[in-house]
Structure 1
Amino acid sequence: MIPENLIKQIAFIKEIDKIKYIQRKTKLFNSDRNENDAEHSWHLAVMAIVLAEHSNEPIDVLKVVKMVLIHDIVEIDAGDTFIYDTQKNHDNTDEERIAANRIFGLLPKEQANELIEIWEEFEAGITKEAKFARAMDRLEPLLQNTSNNGGTWREFNVSYDKVYNKKKVINEGSTTLWDFAEKLINESVEKGILNKE
């Protein structure tokens, strides 16, 4: 007889395969192909492992990895909201909360509760792990856009001020990575791939 927990876990595993189909606006490094949410989450997880030494505080790296791997699963139902969207707020939405309860709710109760708590912690951005995870989430597309001659910044006519204000959250997780990111932003202005109006 197959354990009930396993049946629920397999249902969840099948459901989250859909994250591979959620297209982001940002393109892969040096590419014109859009990244999907699964690629984004995997990349953030590796970044968290590799860059953990630059966190402002000692962190539980496994917890950060869990955060970045699951943070966009809600987009299976809620869709991806472009960080520079002018019509819809990028902050946590009711749609995302409903999605989190449905998707994580496929799991056995204890696992579902753990992942919902981790997702909520990431969204709140208050703990040292959440701050570092959010730094990874903001750094990766910055690296992509600078590798793509401005990428989505140019495509959607995003200004320096908007980029700077969205990216400065990196500083909360890592001043070292923020110094690096700020330098890239300023160099992008000098290169003419980011407009400072």
Structure 2
Amino acid sequence: MIGENLVKQIEFIKEIDKIKYIQRRTKLLNSDRNENDAEHSWHLAMMAIVLSEYSDVKIDLLKVVKMVLIHDIVEIDAGDTFLYDQNKNHENTEEELKSAKRIFGILPEKQAAEFIEVWTEFEDGISNEAKFAKSMDRLEPLLQNTSNNGGTWKEFGVKYQTVYDKKIAIKNGSTELWNYAEKLIEDSVEKGILEK
């Protein structure tokens, strides 16, 4: 006899396979191929593990990894909103919350509640873990754009101040990673791949 929880968990696993088809605007490092959400989430999880020593405060690394792995699952329904989109707010949590409830709701009730709680904590960005997870989420595309001669900055005419204002969130999770990121932004202006 196969348990009801296992059936729900397998259905969830099959459903989240769709994240592999959600294309992001950002290209892979040193590439002209767009990254998908699954690749992005995996990369953030690895970054969190490798860079956790740079968190300004003690964090629960497992919780951070959970956050970065599940934060974009909602885009299966809600779609990916480009960080620099002029028409749609990147913090579209109402649409995403509806998606979170549907997708995580496939899981057994207790697990669904946990996933929604972790996702909401990431979105709120208040806890130490959420601040560090968001630092990873803002740092990765910065690394990509600097490796691609400006990448989406050039493609969509994104200027220095907009990049700076969006990326300063890195500082909330790590002063040292922000110092590194800020230098990358300034160097990008000097190299002519980010317009001031």
The question of a shared fold, defined as TM-score above 0.5 by the shorter chain, is answered with yes
Q: Which residue in 2 is equivalent to 1:125?
A: 125
Unaligned runs of 5+ in 2: none
Runs of 4 or more above 6 Å deviation: none
Taking the aligned partners of 1:162 and 1:147, their CA distance within structure 2 comes to 19
SS at match of 1:35: strand
What aligned pairs does 1:1-197 form with structure 2 within 5 A after superposition? 1-196=1-196
Deviation sequence 1:73-118 (CA, Å, 0-9, x none): 0000000000000000001332101100000000000000000000
Aligned 8 A contact 1:74 1:100 in 2: yes
Taking the aligned partners of 1:117 and 1:80, their CA distance within structure 2 comes to 21
Deviation sequence 1:49-77 (CA, Å, 0-9, x none): 00000001010000000000000000000
177-186 or 93-102, which deviates more: 93-102
The Cα RMSD (Å) is 0.4
Taking the aligned partners of 1:95 and 1:181, their CA distance within structure 2 comes to 30
Unaligned runs of 5+ in 1: none
Compute the TM-score of the two structures, normalised by the length of structure 1: 0.99
Taking the aligned partners of 1:119 and 1:180, their CA distance within structure 2 comes to 27
Deviation sequence 1:140-165 (CA, Å, 0-9, x none): 00000000000000000000000000
Taking the aligned partners of 2:175 and 2:157, their CA distance within structure 1 comes to 28
Aligned 8 A contact 1:24 1:34 in 2: yes
SS at match of 2:25: strand
Taking the aligned partners of 1:4 and 1:175, their CA distance within structure 2 comes to 46
Q: Percent identity?
A: 75
Q: CA deviation at 1:13?
A: 0.1
Taking the aligned partners of 1:35 and 1:7, their CA distance within structure 2 comes to 31
Deviation sequence 1:17-75 (CA, Å, 0-9, x none): 00000000000000000000000000000000000000010100000000000000000
Taking the aligned partners of 2:92 and 2:22, their CA distance within structure 1 comes to 17
> What amino acid is the match of 2:125?
G
SS at match of 1:168: helix
Taking the aligned partners of 2:92 and 2:145, their CA distance within structure 1 comes to 24
Taking the aligned partners of 2:33 and 2:50, their CA distance within structure 1 comes to 25
Taking the aligned partners of 2:67 and 2:112, their CA distance within structure 1 comes to 14
> What amino acid is the match of 1:134?
K
Aligned 8 A contact 1:92 1:123 in 2: no
